[in-house]
Each structure stands twice: as C-alpha cells, then as structure tokens.
Chain A
Amino acid sequence: GAVVSQHPSWVICKSGTSVKIECRSLDFQATTMFWYRQFPKQSLMLMATSNEGSKATYEQGVEKDKFLINHASLTLSTLTVTSAHPEDSSFYICSAFPLLLAREVTDTQYFGPGTRLTVL
C-alpha cells in the first residue's frame, strides 16, 4: 500500500514552453503533498507544500508564478513549470502525506518516483 505515482517520468521540452507534472496517491488520500527539486549530486530541496482545496505554500526563493501548483483532489496534485528555461532542468519529486483518521498518528511521507525535466 501507500503508492505514489508521477507522470511523466521524464520530459524534454523547448525553452519557453510549459510543462505539467502530475503526482497521484494511488491507494490513499492525501490532504498534503510536497514538491521537491533535486539537482544532480545535490539534496532534495522543498519547493512548496500543496494542500487540497487551498493555495499552495511556497518556500523562500521559489517563484509561485513560475511553479504553479494545483491540488484539486485528495489524490492528485499538479506542478506546472511555466516558461521553462534550461536552469529549470532538474529532478522533480513529490511526496504525499496521508489523510489521518481520528487517533491515527504518522509522520511518514510517501515519495513518488520523480520526473526528470530537461529544458533545451
């Protein structure tokens, strides 16, 4: 259980175009999803927190108008990289935090397999 998928797994686009990445929790509901970016040989950097039914919260230095996040349902969050440039080329990973029932306690997030974005 607790499977998170991402689509596409890799994408190549031209500079100036927009790319949408989907993150889905397949067998659980997630009120909160996180989006991370990982450059080669570096750590995961949190970009934003996506909450179902409300606006995303962006980390300092992340442009909200460039990285559009939509969390329209309890199983789907999307990240759209608008007007992509070569410096946006990176590995984008989402994670999902499960909706907890009463008295349930967990700290575990479940990661998607990542999306490799290459901007030419």
Chain B
Amino acid sequence: GENVEQHPSTLSVQEGDSAVIKCTYSDSASNYFPWYKQELGKRPQLIIDIRSNVGEKKDQRIAVTLNKTAKHFSLHITETQPEDSAVYFCAATGRGYKLSFGAGTTVTVRA
C-alpha cells in the first residue's frame, strides 16, 4: 500500500515568515495529493490539493508543488499569521480513492 512520510513533525515560525512542509510517497500510481489543516477536536479541512498532471498550484498565501519523478510534494505558506497555527497533514490517493495520510506537522506561528 501507499506510505506517506511527512517532515518536520513540528514547525515554529515567526509571524510573517514562511512555512514549508515536505512529504514523500511510495506508490507511483498515486495521482492526487491533498493537504489538510486540522484544529484540535475538529475535522480535517482541505486547504489545497494537486493532481499528478500539475507541478504547482497556488491559492493566495498557500502553494503546493509536486515532483512526480522524485515522489515529493510540499506545502508552502507565506506571510504566516497566528490563525495558521494548527496541525497540517499531507495525503496521497491511489487506487480506490483511499487516502494515506502523513504523520502530521504541528505548526506554531509566534506573534
């Protein structure tokens, strides 16, 4: 099955700085890579996603890049704000739309 690794496990940034989270996946058949933000006790919230036929996607302060050859994808958050503090999960979907999640990154934005 798919194995998704995510780094770092924790990330502390100064407000206004950028945050980068990196993930790797193992199954070359995976073709959809969503990123989720989860606050304590809440459901995962989709913040951005990318399909395998695209290398980069941006939505305001959030961007995702994908390198299919290397099986890497990354989340970039620019101009971080305190409300960006949360746990972020990367995921990959392969066969049957089954999502495999990374271990998560706890992001803390210092005011």
Q: When each residue 62-103 of chain B gets 1 if its CB lies under 8 Å from chain A and 0 otherwise, what string results?
A: 000000000000000000000000000100010011111111
For B98, give its contact among A43, A49, A93, A116 (CB under 8 Å): A49
| A67 CB within 8 Å of chain B | no
Q: Could you tell me if B42 and A114 are in contact, using CB atoms closer than 8 angstroms?
A: yes
On whether A46 and B43 interact (CB within 8 A), knowing A107-B51, A108-B49, the answer reads no
For B43, give its contact among A32, A43, A93, A108 (CB under 8 Å): A93
Total number of A residues with any Cβ neighbor in B under 8 Å? 20
User: Distance (Å) between the CB of B23 and the closest chain A CB?
Assistant: 12
CA distance A101 to B16 in the complex (A): 43
Number of CB contacts from chain A to chain B under 8 A: 47
State the main secondary structure of chain A at its contact with B.
strand
Q: Could you tell me if A43 and B97 are in contact, using CB atoms closer than 8 angstroms?
A: no
Q: Which residues of A contact B (CB under 8 A)?
A: 32, 34, 42-46, 49, 91, 93, 95, 97, 107-109, 111-114, 116
Q: Which residues of B contact A (CB under 8 A)?
A: 31-32, 34, 41-44, 46, 49, 51, 89, 93, 96-104
Between A and B, 20 residue pairs with Cβ closer than 8 Å are A32-B96, A32-B97, A43-B101, A43-B103, A44-B44, A45-B101, A46-B99, A46-B100, A49-B98, A91-B41, A95-B99, A107-B32, A107-B49, A107-B51, A107-B93, A108-B34, A108-B49, A109-B97, A113-B43, A114-B42
